[in-house]
Amino acid sequence: MTLTAPRSAARTPELTTNLPRWRGLVSPGSLSQEHFSPRNHETIATLPACTPEDVGAAFEQARTAQHAWSKTPLKERAAIVSRFHDAVLAHHELLLDVVQHETGKSRSSAFDEVADIGLTAQYYAKSARRHLKPAKRQGAFPLLTRTREYYWPKGVVGMITPWNYPLTLPITDALPALLAGNAIVLKPDAQTPLSSLAAIDLLYQAGLPRGLFQVVLGDGPTVGGAIIDNADFVMFTGSTATGKKVAQACGERLIGFSAELGGKNPMIVLDDAPFDRALQGTIPASFSNSGQLCMAIERLYVHDAIYDRFVPALTELVSGLRLGSDLDYSSDIGSLISQEQLNKVTSHVNDAVARGATVLTGGSARPDIAPFAFEPTLLENVSEDMELCRGETFGPVVAIYRFHSDDEAIALANDTRYGLNASVWGSPRRAEKIARAIEAGSVNVNEGFTASWASTDAPMGGFKESGVGRRHGREGIVKYTNVQTVATQRGMKVAAPKGMSPEKFAQTLIRGLRLMKKLPGRG
């Protein structure tokens, strides 16, 4: 394992210079909280923390701003998002510094966030009109019923986002909501608030009306609960356990919600897979963001015919990854986010080893690199009695298994309560057939997760306990609207004409229904 020692960043003063302005974007709070960097555990900033009353005040301001925003032409909203896209690219180095300071991730993983914002902003700025324009629908009676579908903004969308992608998750979920005419009240994770604040600052510089994007900080259950109590719609990204609580709270208020939750994602390597591509592709699929990614691969299934060649080659590749915490591109793998996360990853590995698993490479914490650094790790001989087998580790740890047939691979991949992402490597026709049989919202053929995630015109979300609703594509913006049908009836009314008995009217409708069946385009 190649290691690099942490160094100070020359650009840190720029981050410090912007802190007062970013702090000003946080809704006033009655409390305060300190914010630490996992790179060295030094204090980055002290920020306001909110009470439920503070959250309520933030929603009042957001509602006031939303009334005017909903009347702003969509073309003007899209122009702001387009300018924001340009601002993100122009200030990407600063954004990367902020993300790395807050998360300890590698710069390459931080860049994934910038690229994702660029893709999403560009996509929705160009496609929002197509998704939201009034749509002509088939009327009840041909030529006599004119039916149109319209989209109204929900109002104020409450967003609760995690620490693992603190720049892209709040912003890429917010952009379609804003384009649909909503205001936002966001609770970023307490460990990573500055990334979203830095991006929101750029949104305001791009022309977003003040007050439209409120940020509240503080204790998760308290502030998160207050968001659900006030929101017209909730977007949540986090654990399955918390997602179930969010769903219950939203259900009690009869408000809509969307949630991307956990995953225990499988990767299948067939015996006809492009060998070198599969080897190289396993690295980002498994170890991007130090494995702290809902879509990351944690279960690797390798066909028995190539297992004894593939696994040693992969072990050598993983052993050569560079572990570090510099604010540059010198490291392949960054730090974990916190002591809590380090404890969880360490516990999963130690439990597996104690029960008979074999560590092929890695397996240890590296506090000499960063307080919460953990080596990229491969294990085999992982069995059902191990916590690592079914529980989401959310770290740089992959369990490797053999399989003998396509049907066995499918059964193994589907043997989980999760269904977020999967990856299949092999000849396209065979791999695509397997992909369609896997119970997951996204399945990538000859890729880990980027191909589906970056296909922003296609919906992304989970099966089973991996989530409800979708982000990206038409579904990712229409979910932030109330859909209204307006039907105008001309000529014949939808009732028996004066003088016609109900029985005669029913017989007439029967004849009409039989005739309508023969017309094209119905159904």
Residue given tokens 């047939």 in the structure block: 405
Per-residue model confidence (pLDDT) at position 521: 65
**pLDDT tens per residue across span 485-496:** 999 998 777 778
Question: Do 54 and 185 contact (CB within 8 A), yes or no?
Answer: no
Quote the pLDDT of residue 13: 67
Mean pLDDT on 438-448: 98
Which tokens sit at 450? 């980027």
Burial of 227 (0-12, 13-18, 19+ CB in 10 A): buried
pLDDT tens digits for range 97-128 = 999 999 999 999 999 999 999 999 999 999 99
The residues that bridge with 48 in the sheet, in sequence order, are 32
- What's the CA gap between 378 and 422, in Å, rounded? 18
In tens, the pLDDT along 208-218 reads: 999 999 999 99
| Per-domain boundaries in the chain | 12-261+474-481, 265-456
Q: How confident is the model at residue 10 (pLDDT cuts 50, 70, 90)?
A: very low
Per-residue pLDDT, averaged over 4-29, amounts to: 72
Residue 7 has pLDDT above 50, yes or no: no
pLDDT for 512 beyond 90:
no
Q: H helices within 215-260, ranges in order? A: 220-230, 240-253
* DSSP element (H, E) containing 35: strand 31-36
pLDDT (average), residues 284-303: 98
Secondary structure of 380-443 in HEC code, one letter for each residue: ECCCCCCHHHHCCCCCCEEEEEEECCHHHHHHHHHCCCEECEEEEECCHHHHHHHHCCCCCCEE
> What is the crossing angle of helices 92-103 and 107-132, to 10°?
120
pLDDT of residue 206: 98
Residue 473 region, left (φ>0) first, then alpha (ψ -120 to 50), else beta?
Answer: left
Residue 133 has pLDDT above 70, yes or no: yes
CB within 8 Å of 511: residues ≥ 6 apart: none
Q: Which residues contact 381 (CB under 8 A, 6 or more apart)?
A: 356, 357, 358
Q: Above pLDDT 90, what percent of the chain?
A: 84
pLDDT, mean of residues 379-400 = 97
pLDDT band with cut points at 50, 70 and 90 for residue 8: very low
What integer is the mean pLDDT of 10-20?
75
Q: Say if residue 302's pLDDT is above 50.
A: yes
Residue with tokens 């028995």: 304
User: What pLDDT does residue 452 have?
Assistant: 97
Q: How far apart are CA 190 and CA 172, in angstroms?
A: 19
The string of DSSP codes covering 277-335 is: HHHHHHHHHHHGGGG--TT-EEEEEEEHHHHHHHHHHHHHHHHTPEE---SSTT-SB--
| Amino acid at the residue 399 | A
- The pLDDT score that the predictor gives to residue 4 is 37
Which pLDDT does position 522 carry in this prediction? 56
Quick one: tokens of 308? 């004894």
Instruction: Say yes or no to pLDDT of 191 above 50.
Output: yes
Are 168 and 113 contacting, i.e. CB atoms less than 8 angstroms apart?
A: yes
Which tens digit of pLDDT belongs to each residue from 51-74? 999 999 999 999 999 999 999 999
> Cα separation of 169 and 166, whole Å?
6
Q: What is the third-level CATH fold of 265-456?
A: Aldehyde Dehydrogenase; Chain A, domain 2 (3.40.309)
Cα 521 from chain centroid? 37
> In the prediction, which pLDDT does 519 show?
75
Task: Provide the pLDDT for residue 12.
Answer: 66
Residue 376 to residue 333: CA distance in whole angstroms: 8
Look up the CATH superfamily of 12-261+474-481. Aldehyde Dehydrogenase; Chain A, domain 1 (3.40.605.10)
Among residues 170, 158, 203, the alpha carbon closest in space to that of 99 is found at: 170
Query: Is residue 30 pLDDT above 60, yes or no?
Result: yes
Count the neighbouring beta carbons within 10 Å of the beta carbon of residue 502: 9
Q: Say yes or no to pLDDT of 2 above 60.
A: no
Question: Rg (Cα) of the chain, in Å, rounded?
Answer: 26
Same fold, 12-261+474-481 and 265-456: no
Active site members = 260, 294
Q: What share of the chain is helix, strand, coil (3-state, %, to 5)?
A: 45, 20, 35
Nearest to 217 by CA among 72, 446, 47, 22: 47
Longest dimension (CA), the chain: 91
Inter-residue contact 505 to 513 (CB < 8 Å) = no
Both structure tokens of 254:
């009869």
The predicted structure's pLDDT at residue 33: 85
Q: What value does the mean pLDDT take over residues 332-352?
A: 97
Cα 76 to Cα 172: distance, rounded to the nearest angstrom? 18
Half-sphere exposure of 337 (CA within 13 A, CB side): 22
Chain centroid to CA 514: 47
Angle subtended by helix axes 168-179 and 74-90, to nearest 10: 160
> pLDDT, tens digit, for every residue of 272-282?
999 999 999 99
Residue 515, pLDDT score: 82
Better-predicted residue by pLDDT, 180 or 14: 180
Tell me how long the chain is.
523
Looking at the predicted structure, is the pLDDT value of residue 130 above 60?
Answer: yes
User: What's the whole-number mean pLDDT along residues 203-207?
Assistant: 98
State residue 513's pLDDT score.
81
* Rounded-to-integer distance, Cα 441 and Cα 460, Å: 6
Query: Has residue 296 got a pLDDT over 60?
Result: yes
Q: Say if CB 227 and CB 55 are below 8 A apart.
A: yes
